[in-house]
A and B are shown apart, each in its own frame.
Chain A
Amino acid sequence: MESDDSNMYREHILELYKEPSNYGTIKNPTHQKTGNNPLCGDEITVQITVKGNKVEDIKFRARGCAISIASASLITDYAKGKSLNGIRSIGSEKVVDLLHIPISPVRLKCALLPLQTLHDAIGMKTEGKNGTARNK
């Protein structure tokens, strides 16, 4: 089973889960948002500091599964240094791309929560399929 192609729990995902990048808090963020997945009760808070239209710093704290934590880690890394427009143009396909694992539709919701919350923090809706999960 461990070599099964359908296995989501690849080494890189588990490592990101155990030691995610950008985990923590920013003292005085310019933007922040808490999102949750009503399906499973997962919750994530994304904070960013925007300076000169660029994301200078980004951090998150979350209560979530391996998929959502790994996704948050990857997407925050990816977002760092980008302009606000650059962030706006990140679509849900990018998340799937970064995760690099086969992912079922149910678990896709877990994977997309970090990006949706990031988008919510800068006041927009995520484009692409499944980009409509509710954030609070």
Chain B
Amino acid sequence: MRIDNSKAKELRQDFPIFSSRKNLVYLDNAATTQKPEAVIDAISDYYKSSNANIHRGVYKLSQEATEKYEASHKQVENFIGAGNNEVVFTRNATESINLVSYGFDRTFKGKNDIVLTEMEHHSNMVPWQQFAKRNNLRLKYIRVKEDFTLDYDDAEKKITDKTAIVAASHISNALGTVNDVKMICSLAAKSGALSLVDGAQGAAHSEVDVKSIGCDFYAFSGHKMLGPTGTGVLYGKKELLEAMAPFNFGGDMISKVTYEDAEWNSIPMKFEAGTPNISGGIALSEAIGYLKKAGMKSIERWENDLLKYAMENMKNVKKYNPGLGKSAGILSFNLDNVHAHDVASILDMHDVCIRGGHHCAMPLMNKLGVAGTARASFYLYNTYEDIDMLVKGINEAEKVFRR
């Protein structure tokens, strides 16, 4: 499918929120995306006609629910190029990252540090800070350069054979930067370090093939890619998921229990203790079906067109973005002497939703010397008209603060 402005307008009709709020200009897609009717229907259809607990009943209804839930795992595996049983369902990217961080406690010998990047989301930073404390490791950060890209020379220096884990985002939610995670993961592999890619934006905004990236783990959230909230994914190489310790214990995740001890179930069940978000998991499969139909490459291209149009029309703002070709459809900016919250509030008066703040990247904001930025982030259903409204709102904010 080729997405252009008229195609985007057509796609919009698949999203009920745009008919219930006619003037809505939604440009906060990096936070969460809107949901197509098919996803919303999948949730209600499940409750209306397939609701039963999974892995437990011998009756048809339960078997049907189990099959759908498992088929959804397959759909995700297929979407990111993972192998059989290499995908675990979680609540969100944050939980996926925590799952890995707890899974390797006390397993590193002769290692001194963890390497992250300066542009990480708190979700891919705070779990590692805690991991470092528990395991007596030091944190090192790959530098972000003036042009808002990663300093790969610095990465080569910092990732050494003393590195236990390298964790980096695929696409920065704060800057839009698309990182060369393939290169970072190969540095990690050469040094004998584990690699984790935070794909919360990557899976939503680009075509992902985990085998070609070569990462050990890839974490992302369903709600940022048309799926329901409360759905997340952890991809892990099979042998690593097998070696990794679970961190939630209980029903479903065991194969055998005695009064004294238990044995773990196979993957993914080992990491999916308790009754999961069944309806959400099933609906995530619909979201991915929708994305596949549109085509991730087409989405990348359309976001790039939108970004280009926005860059050309947002002349008087300071941009925190590496530029076309190096960025997904995420644009952070500031108006001189106007706080990002005020920009967002004034845009809100025009029903334009953008984000203003630190984007869960406080250390990065400190480095940039700002309290925060305003951020517009695009998706397949956004149009040039949305950006016209954004620009109009920005001009309005300028006027308000210049008068």
Contact = CB atoms under 8 A, between A and B. Distances in A.
* Number of chain A interface residues as a range: 20 to 34
B357 A14 contact: no
Nearest to B362: A41
A26 interface: no
Contacts of B345: 8-9, 107
Contact of B342 (A4, A39, A66): A66
Interface string A95-126: 00000000000010010000000000000000
B222 to A, nearest CB: 25
A48 B385 CA distance: 50
Interface in B320-377: 338-342, 345-346, 349-350, 356-358, 362, 365, 371-372
Contacts of A64: 339, 371
Given A9-B400, A14-B400, A41-B372, 10 more contacts: A1-B349, A1-B350, A4-B349, A6-B349, A9-B345, A9-B401, A40-B357, A40-B372, A64-B339, A107-B345
A64 B358 CA distance: 12
B344 to A, nearest CB: 9
Given A64-B371, A107-B341, A39 B357 contact: yes
Interface of A: 1-2, 4, 6-9, 14, 17, 39-43, 63-67, 107, 110
Q: Kindly list the 6 A-B residue pairs having the minimum CB-CB distance in the complex, ordered from nearest.
A: A65-B339, A41-B358, A65-B341, A40-B357, A63-B371, A41-B371
Contacts of A43: 371
Contacts of A9: 342, 345-346, 400-401
Nearest to B396: A1
A21 to B, nearest CB: 18
Pick the most buried of B340, B400, B403: most chain A CB atoms within 10 A of its CB. Answer: B400
Contact of B371 (A6, A14, A40): A40
Nearest to B339: A65
B28 to A, nearest CB: 14
24 contacts: A1-B350, A4-B349, A6-B349, A9-B342, A9-B345, A9-B401, A14-B400, A14-B401, A17-B401, A40-B340, A40-B341, A40-B356, A40-B357, A40-B372, A41-B362, A41-B365, A42-B339, A43-B371, A64-B371, A65-B339, A66-B338, A67-B341, A67-B342, A107-B345
A109 to B, nearest CB: 10
Contacts of A2: 400
A63 B368 CA distance: 14
Contacts of A40: 340-341, 356-358, 371-372
Nearest to B350: A1
Contacts of A7: 349
A107 B357 CA distance: 12
A41 B359 CA distance: 10
